Structure 1
């Protein structure tokens, strides 16, 4: 069992925005680290409550939403790992004609009434819920990340995937004041798919913490190849053992 070393009195607190279902990661944590309690709570703006240390009351790790086009470098004060791009969805009243389609594009909905866009990155859950109330009343259509839309689960509203709309991205973040916290490293590794039989290595480090050689190695692994070997300056690359040199 890949159990985290260190004191077991510290609890791991996870914050997550609407549309995230952290149950599978919490279950894996409890299987691998039964001595470290873990809890999760849905919040509107989890980054506002990040703890800088175990002695503080706040979240150790948060799942948060950002624009897909946002820079992949972490904002100041955070370590952050982007995870996946969310599919977008259009919501309409239950009897809307779009229910006959499997997916749509903005062009398919040309001429339809639209509600003012809701910024799901900054809007509170109550604000989003109020906008969906207007959708159910037939006032207009609304675009939300599909996981968020499905988490609302209303019978008087339908949703369909919307292709070609500006998308959102999910990520995990934690305070930059905690660069070597073993509990956080373990949980982020679980979210990224690290198994119980693998240990943390340089390739698992957050992109913001890797040096140039680690980044090159990670890119090579992603391509399915080997890291490029650089030729020494001022001379030829070393010959492979057992290969005869060619005469001139």
Structure 2
């Protein structure tokens, strides 16, 4: 991608409940010259924006059409049931689908769970949104089953939630158009996957100052090695000198003029003075 082709911003969409803040913060630190445009959209709308190229990447809820979108699953959310604080299920740590048999279980039109069969009794009408369903729960109309992040997103003081076993779960993924894996998309993939700024695949994620740091350290290391070389040469010279002198003693180069070997200790063999 040439400089003229680099977009002015990176467009990221995300479904309600997904928390992209950490990844956005890392992006802003590593690529301050490329603003990230962050937009929350309904979960069902996010894949449409990617296919139409109105977004570069998205944090979406699976499933998506894998024939046109690439996707990297990130995590699976726990499913919970949202109830009033005085509901009977608040007496237990977790709930099964059978525990909701007598309850009206609300099923909003924007539900993100893939149900084979909804537990409990159906409501007369389906709420338009999850937010509307939460209001009905607070009014005592029924209970609501959602991923944990949506229960937290629509938290109210008069409501609480409990884990629901035996229910479908929602998986969150990073998705982008199959035929549009741009350099910036690859950069965001690296951030989400936890690559460091110095990763070999993090081509654009390194700031110029950080790129030069390893080279500077290498230069300093070479300079230090260069400073140590004279010392090593002197030590080598001294060691060679000691070896040469030892060789001369062994080969006889240090003999006296009379032909006899030089005694190791001249004081040995001298007569003692008379007392």
Contact 1:94 1:136 in 2 (8 A): no
> Residues 124-163 of structure 1: matches in 2 within 5 Å?
127-163=129-165
Q: Give the number of aligned pairs.
A: 186
Per the normalisation by structure 1, the TM-score is 0.67
The residue aligned with 1:22 is: 20
Which consecutive residues of structure 1, in runs of 5 or more, have no partner in the other structure?
A: 202-248
What secondary structure, in the 3-state scheme, does the structure 2 residue paired with 1:199 have? coil
What secondary structure, in the 3-state scheme, does the structure 2 residue paired with 1:90 have? strand
Deviation at 1:183, TM superposition (A): 0.3
Are residues 6 and 185 of structure 1, via their aligned partners in 2, closer, same or farther at CA, if it must alter by over 3 Å?
farther
Q: 2:9 aligns with which of 2, 11, 18?
A: 11
For the aligned residue pairs, the C-alpha RMSD in angstroms reads 2.7
The residue aligned with 1:82 is: 73
| 1:63 pairs with 2:59 | yes
Q: How far apart are the structure 2 equivalents of 1:113 and 1:52?
A: 38
The residue aligned with 1:220 is: none
Are residues 87 and 6 of structure 1, via their aligned partners in 2, closer, same or farther at CA, if it must alter by over 3 Å?
farther
The residue aligned with 2:47 is: 47
Q: Deviations over 1:177-209 (max 9, x none)?
A: 313x110011012112222222329xxxxxxxx
The residue aligned with 1:93 is: 84
Greater share of residues in helix: 2
Q: How far apart are the structure 2 equivalents of 1:11 and 1:126?
A: 33
Bigger Cα Rg: 2
Contact 1:81 1:172 in 2 (8 A): yes
The residue aligned with 1:112 is: 103
Contact 1:104 1:163 in 2 (8 A): yes
Are residues 142 and 164 of structure 1, via their aligned partners in 2, closer, same or farther at CA, if it must alter by over 3 Å?
same
Query: Does 1 or 2 have the higher relative contact order (CA < 8 Å, sep 6+)?
Result: 1
The residue aligned with 1:196 is: 197
Per the normalisation by structure 2, the TM-score is 0.60
Deviation at 1:119, TM superposition (A): 5.0
Q: Deviations over 1:58-113 (max 9, x none)?
A: 211111112xxx59xx5221111111111101011232132233322223434333
